[in-house]
Amino acid sequence: MALANENYFNIQEIYYSNEIEKRVNAYKLLHPAADIIRLTTADVTHPLPKEAIKAIKKAADEMGVAGTFRGYSPAKGYDFLIEKIVKDYRTIGITIDKECVFINSGAKPDLGNIGHILGIDNITAVAEPVCPMYENSIIISGRGGYVTKDNKWSNIVYIPCDSTDDFAPNIPQERVDVVYLCNPNNPTGTVITKSKLKEWVDYAIRHQSIIVYDCAYQGFLSSPDVPKSIYEIKGAKRVAVEIHSYSKCAGFTGLRCGYSVFPAELQVYAKTGEKIALLDLWTKRNANYTNGVPYIIQRAAEALYSKKGQREVDETVSQILSNAALIKETLTSRGLKVWGGVDSPYVWLKVPGRQSSWKFFTHLLYESQVVGIPGNVFGTSGEGYMRLTGFATPDDTQAAVDRLQKVKL
């Protein structure tokens, strides 16, 4: 009798998108002609950079010719892309050994799969409000412990982030072994400054902990006090894995490519106290679980580092950011308290009055046909907030803000 991994019974991964769809569909049944605008999406709507398309076509042609055909990619990725990544780090003054860079098929798989190489008894911290995927992957991989009386997980430390600190995650009182940090953060769109990140790096060094640093939105950062990489902080190579993605800044959500950095200095411990380089474990994991990202996709990613490619990425990012800024300005002018929307595509708003997140979701849907994500789906600290995004098309964004200008609040 084959037994199931019962950890899967305990996650609520798709609850909120299902619930949002259910409520939107109920509205549509009553108002079939309604023009609904979704500012919920975390997917991109801007087409791929032309340089990436050119590279895809060229690589596809190569695959049709015996002399240039490629089979399996190296499990960690091709040197042509890794070298571009290493060079890119150099532009911000960081030296990364190319052996430490692993091409991934987007950030999400690595953010979850890192659980394969971490002990199940680790205490893991997640900042809240947070993307459900960190918590869910901890639970699925059996690292959650047991469910406590208040419906939390015993081996997860939830770090409540609130408006008093602009949603920056504060160092917990207790020791944690692993912490997920996301900078800029989804859903709040807020950032972790260099000085706050230094506190985290120092904490991790002190406690022999590791930081899983989710950089999926790094391309949106421009504020000078926010690091582009955790490795800008002294000592971070001893404690942090950095996970990147081309999804949001270059429209690669459907192509699937990014990269992860496992510095050679980063060590974890066997129960005997023996130290092991996390890089070695990840290399073994990769050898057994992946045969690499397709050649054609890696060539598309490489093209993003050309002058033209970079210009196109910058255009994509600035379009998304100007959508986010427009949403933020509109809501602010309506007297709402708003975060994010500067170094991030996400805009996080305090719902007016003492309404719950779902109540305001329904109000906005019925009064303006604009859909946002209720903040409480990102954890209890998100109650009373809502997330909107700059990923819709400029036309849809403009139409949505026109309605937000007028909607009764």
- Where along the sequence are the contacts to ligand PLP (CB under 6 A)? 42, 106-108, 111, 131, 182, 186, 214, 216, 245, 247, 253, 258
How far is 341 from 325, CA to CA, in rounded Å?
Answer: 5
At its nearest, how many Å lie between ligand PLP and the CB of residue 106?
A: 3
At its nearest, how many Å lie between ligand PLP and the CB of residue 252?
A: 7
At its nearest, how many Å lie between ligand PLP and the CB of residue 108?
A: 3
The residue among 103 and 404 lying less far from ligand PLP, judged by its C-beta, is 103
The residue among 296 and 404 lying less far from ligand PLP, judged by its C-beta, is 296
At its nearest, how many Å lie between ligand PLP and the CB of residue 346?
A: 9
The residue among 59 and 130 lying less far from ligand PLP, judged by its C-beta, is 130
The residue among 27 and 158 lying less far from ligand PLP, judged by its C-beta, is 158
332 alpha carbon, distance to own chain's centre: 25
Phi–psi pair at 148, nearest 5 degrees = -85, 175
Helices and strands, number each (H, E), in the chain: 12, 15
The residue among 245 and 369 lying less far from ligand PLP, judged by its C-beta, is 245
Residue linked to tokens 């996390």: 278
The residue among 78 and 180 lying less far from ligand PLP, judged by its C-beta, is 180
Token output for 302: 């490489």
Taking a C-beta distance cutoff of 8 angstroms, is the pair 136, 188 a contact?
Answer: no
At its nearest, how many Å lie between ligand PLP and the CB of residue 247?
A: 3
How far is 393 from 320, CA to CA, in rounded Å?
Answer: 8
Helix, strand, coil proportions of the chain in percent (round to 5)?
45, 15, 40
At its nearest, how many Å lie between ligand PLP and the CB of residue 10?
A: 21
How far is 314 from 396, CA to CA, in rounded Å?
Answer: 21
What single letter denotes the amino acid at residue 160? P
At its nearest, how many Å lie between ligand PLP and the CB of residue 76?
A: 17
Nearest Cα neighbor of 278 from 77, 155, 122 is 122
**Number of neighbouring beta carbons within 10 Å of residue 381:** 20
What single letter denotes the amino acid at residue 325? A
The residue among 136 and 330 lying less far from ligand PLP, judged by its C-beta, is 136
What single letter denotes the amino acid at residue 67? G
SS3 state at 143: coil
The set of residues, in sequence order, having a beta carbon less than 8 Å from that of 401 and lying 6+ positions away, is 326, 327, 330
Residue linked to tokens 């859909």: 371
At its nearest, how many Å lie between ligand PLP and the CB of residue 134?
A: 9
The residue among 248 and 328 lying less far from ligand PLP, judged by its C-beta, is 248
